[in-house]
């Protein structure tokens, strides 16, 4: 039993040993296959890791897109742009409305209030001393129309009367301008310059004495380079219509710019025929308009026609300017009477005391002064001093209208481009004056002080 059991154990041991050896031998025999499987498994695991990394990247990108969409959804959209107004508004003293179709509209106006003192010899009996007036109170409209057309209508309400000043229809094409209606004919640099831009409260004596005023007519203007040519056919002022008199007027201007210097050279011709039986009268106030006394006066005399010839010259350089004009007015009195020729002329020089300021000039006329440092923007406006010699001779061919020699000084303050204050002083010396002093003396002097406040828009 013991043996059997020993034999059995030995057999069992041998069987077990053989059983373990067979798998080992089988494993040894199959080793290359297992390595291949392990390599394949490693490759699969690497592919799976790469795919996982790719999926993680796609997930992060998707999360970023979700966050961006959420942020965009949380931000309110910008308001839509405001629709463009069909009307543009600019400010040029007053609102100016315009649109892309070529229409524009602007209300315009001015107010000038004058006051002052006239001192004449007591024995002349003239009404001197202090006086004042609303020199000009104008209101009107102006604008453009499609096709190159424009319009300007303005009336003066000074003195509790309504008088038409401008009523013009214009057409522009390049350098050509055609005008129809009541407007200035082409006489004198100072006369054609707006009263808003003159150096003194009144223009030189000859412009008023010889009857320069707006008239109803048609005219052409052409500007090319530095040359301006103007001409027109006119009748009387609208207040004197109907009338049979008419005039032909022409003006030529050469206005080159030499460096910083603006030059102006010009000349004008005025030929006017009068109705049969007409009379003319040439006279002038002592600088200011608020007196009705004229110390030079031809009184009325018969006339068939007038011929006026004028010369102009001016120069502007920085703060300095000088301007001079002469004018001859000849009257045809018919074959049996002598024809007189009267003369007027002036020369002025001005200087700006404030730095950067200069006198305005545009298209053959003096123009608006624009202070470099206006009041309201930290400045004191533009301050200018001007001196003028003004001569008028109304004596000729047996007509004694007198002579006037004026020595005049002006202090001009432009707080802004649309406001102005002026103080003027004039010493006017007369020969053959219309008012005789004591003993019949017609040679004496008159002193005048005039002030003005003005605004325009």
d(CA 89, CA 146): 18
272 within 8 A of 255, measured Cβ to Cβ: no
Question: Environment class of residue 62 by beta-carbon count within 10 Å: exposed (0-12), middle (13-18) or buried (19+)?
Answer: exposed
For the stretch 223-253, pLDDT in tens is: 999 999 999 999 999 999 999 999 999 999 9
Q: What is the pLDDT of residue 72?
A: 67
19 vs 139, residue with greater confidence: 139
With vertex at residue 278, the alpha carbon angle to CA 273 and CA 282, rounded to the nearest 5 degrees, is 85
CA–CA separation, 231 vs 176, rounded Å?
Answer: 12
* Distance of alpha carbon 411 from alpha carbon 427, whole angstroms: 15
On the question of pLDDT at 185 being above 80, the answer is yes
* 33-49 pLDDT tens trace: 777 878 888 888 888 87
Which is nearest to 228 in space by CA: 175, 180, 295?
175
Local confidence band at 160 (pLDDT 50, 70, 90 cut-offs): confident
Query: What is the per-residue pLDDT across 291-303, written as a single tens digit (0 to 9) for each?
Result: 999 999 999 999 9
Is 3.50.50.60 the CATH number for 88-456? no
Closest C-alpha among 296, 285, 283, 284 to residue 434: 296
Q: How much is the CA Rg of the chain, to the nearest whole Å?
A: 48
Average pLDDT of the residues in 269-287: 97
Instruction: Flag whether pLDDT at 166 surpasses 90.
Output: yes
Judged by phi (left if over 0) then psi (alpha if -120 to 50, else beta), residue 48 lies in alpha
Residue 70 has pLDDT above 90, yes or no: no
Residue 237: predicted pLDDT:
96
Q: Which residue, among 415, 393, 410, has the nearest Cα to 402 in the 3D structure?
A: 393
Q: HSE (CB half, 13 Å, CA atoms) of 427?
A: 4
Q: What is the pLDDT of residue 51?
A: 79
Q: Taking 80 as the threshold, does the pLDDT of residue 444 lie above it?
A: yes
pLDDT of residue 62: 73
pLDDT in tens, 101-130: 999 999 999 999 999 999 999 999 999 999
Q: What is the pTM of this model?
A: 0.80
Q: What angle do CA 303, 306, 312 make, to 5 degrees?
A: 150
Strand partners, 214: 184
Burial of 448 (0-12, 13-18, 19+ CB in 10 A): buried
Between 83-87, 112-116, 206-210, 305-309, the lowest mean confidence (pLDDT) is in 83-87
What are the extents of the domains in the chain? Answer: 88-456
Q: What is the mean pLDDT of residues 333-355?
A: 97
State the pLDDT at residue 84. 63
Query: Is residue 74 over pLDDT 90?
Result: no
Which has the minimum average pLDDT: 80-84, 161-165, 440-444? 80-84
Select from 446, 364, 405 the least CA-distant residue to 120.
446
Percent of the chain past pLDDT 70, that is, above it, reads 91
Least confident range of 24-28, 186-190, 255-259, 309-313: 24-28
Average model confidence (pLDDT) for the chain?
91
């Amino acid at each position: 039993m013991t043996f059997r059991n020993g034999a059995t154990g030995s057999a069992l041991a041998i069987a077990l040993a053989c059983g373990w050896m067979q798998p080992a031998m089988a494993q040894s025999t199959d080793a290359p296959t297992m390595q291949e499987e392990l390599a394949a498994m490693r490759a699969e695991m690497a592919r799976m890791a790469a795919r996982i990394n790719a999926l993680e990247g796609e997930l992060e990108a998707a999360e970023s897109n979700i966050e961006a969409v959420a942020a965009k959804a949380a931000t309110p959209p910008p308001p839509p742009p405001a629709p463009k107004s069909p009307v543009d508004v600019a400010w040029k003293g007053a609102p100016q409305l315009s649109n892309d179709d070529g229409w524009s509209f602007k209300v315009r106006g001015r107010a000038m209030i004058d006051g002052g003192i006239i001192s004449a010899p007591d024995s002349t009996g003239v009404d001197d001393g202090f006086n004042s007036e609303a020199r000009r109170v104008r209101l009107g409209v102006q604008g453009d129309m499609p096709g190159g057309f424009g319009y300007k209508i303005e009336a003066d309400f000074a003195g509790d009367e309504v008088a038409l000043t401008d009523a013009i229809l214009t057409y522009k094409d390049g350098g050509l301008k055609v005008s129809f209606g009541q407007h200035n004919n082409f006489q004198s640099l100072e006369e054609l310059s707006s009263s808003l831009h003159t150096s003194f409260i009144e223009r030189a004596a000859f412009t008023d004495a010889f009857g320069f005023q707006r008239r109803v007519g048609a005219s052409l203007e052409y500007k090319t380079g530095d040359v301006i040519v103007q001409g027109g056919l006119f009748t009387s002022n609208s207040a004197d219509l109907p009338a049979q008199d008419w005039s032909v007027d022409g003006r030529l201007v050469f206005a080159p710019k030499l460096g910083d210097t603006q030059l102006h050279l010009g000349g004008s011709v005025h030929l006017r025929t009068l109705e049969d039986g007409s009379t003319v009268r040439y006279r002038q106030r002592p600088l200011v308009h608020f007196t009705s006394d004229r110390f030079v006066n031809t009184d009325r005399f018969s006339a068939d026609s007038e011929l006026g010839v004028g010369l102009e010259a001016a120069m502007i350089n920085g703060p300095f300017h000088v301007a001079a004009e002469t004018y001859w007015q000849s009257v045809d009195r018919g074959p049996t009477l002598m024809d007189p020729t009267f003369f007027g002329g002036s020369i002025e020089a001005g200087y700006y005391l404030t730095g950067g300021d200069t006198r305005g000039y545009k298209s053959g006329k003096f123009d608006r002064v624009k202070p470099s440092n206006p009041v309201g923007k930290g400045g004191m406006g533009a301050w200018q001093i001007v001196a003028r010699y003004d001569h008028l001779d109304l004596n000729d061919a047996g007509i004694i209208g007198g002579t006037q020699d004026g020595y005049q000084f002006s202090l001009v303050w432009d707080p802004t481009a649309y406001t102005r204050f002026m103080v003027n002083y004039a010493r006017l010396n007369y020969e053959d004056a219309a008012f005789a002093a004591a003993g019949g003396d017609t040679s004496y002097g008159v002193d005048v002080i005039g002030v003005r406040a003005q605004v325009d828009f």
